[in-house]
Structure 1
């Protein structure tokens, strides 16, 4: 599964339900179509009866409350990935940048990280997440 697919799955489908693949931005990406099943990392913020949007902020705040580290998921892609128990190394972030079609300089990690965070939040919303206005680009 793609890194973006893992992020979307862990936040929007924390109990393994639904599709784990995020919608590609403009090109079709045939790399992965399988779901990974239960991630075991979610809280109780997913809608109980289907239909409603998953409250991204609530899911992530619930996860952060259970995490011993102080992680600023609201602004940091590194902290967001750590919160989701994903590899947050520069190599992993460059892979995520490739998945999201980043065209900037990947050696300028600060600029890339800001862009990645905005794109991940956007993809969460595009895939059924309810995102608070202050996190939108």
Structure 2
């Protein structure tokens, strides 16, 4: 699994696989004509086309604050990618952060300066969490 995938997993992100499976196999419908007084039938997805899975919302800040309360170290996860990764129990080494930065498309010029990469990486992770259904406050997305 990717490092970002591990972050999503640790925060409880996930899709209901049974709903996605149920939506991907349309139910057979009888070939009858409905009387004109009934509402039109709901259109079924075409065979072989999966309906998009609903994204569940995850309160990222609440989960991280809960983890932070029970963590032995005082971690500044709101601004530090190292502390965020530590809080989630992930490898926060430079090598792991570089791998995550590569995975998320960090510009090459930032990869050579660990401070710039770390700042970019924290913002990118927070943004990606929001894109994946994370409830992130607007002040953290700036």
TM-score, length basis structure 2: 0.68
Question: Highest Rg: 1 or 2?
Answer: 2
Query: Does the 8 Å CA contact 1:12/1:128 hold for their aligned counterparts?
Result: no
* Alpha-carbon distance in 1 for matches of 2:140, 2:104: 18
Q: Could you list the runs of 5+ residues in structure 1 that have no partner in the other structure? A: 20-49
| Root-mean-square deviation (Å) | 1.8
Q: Could you list the runs of 5+ residues in structure 2 that have no partner in the other structure? A: 17-53
Shift in Å at residue 52 of structure 1?
Answer: 5.5
* Alpha-carbon distance in 2 for matches of 1:99, 1:105: 14
Shift in Å at residue 51 of structure 1?
Answer: 7.3
List per-residue Cα deviations over 1:48-74 (Å, max 9, x = no partner).
xx9752111100000000101000000
Q: Does residue 1:76 correspond to 2:73, yes or no?
A: no
2:2 counterpart residue number: 2
Find the partner of 2:111 among 87, 97, 106.
106
Matches within 5 A, 1:42-81: 53-81=57-85
Q: Judging changes above 3 Å, is the alpha-carbon distance between structure 1 residues 52 and 5 closer, same or farther for their aligned structure 2 residues?
A: closer
TM-score, length basis structure 1: 0.71
Shift in Å at residue 107 of structure 1?
Answer: 2.5
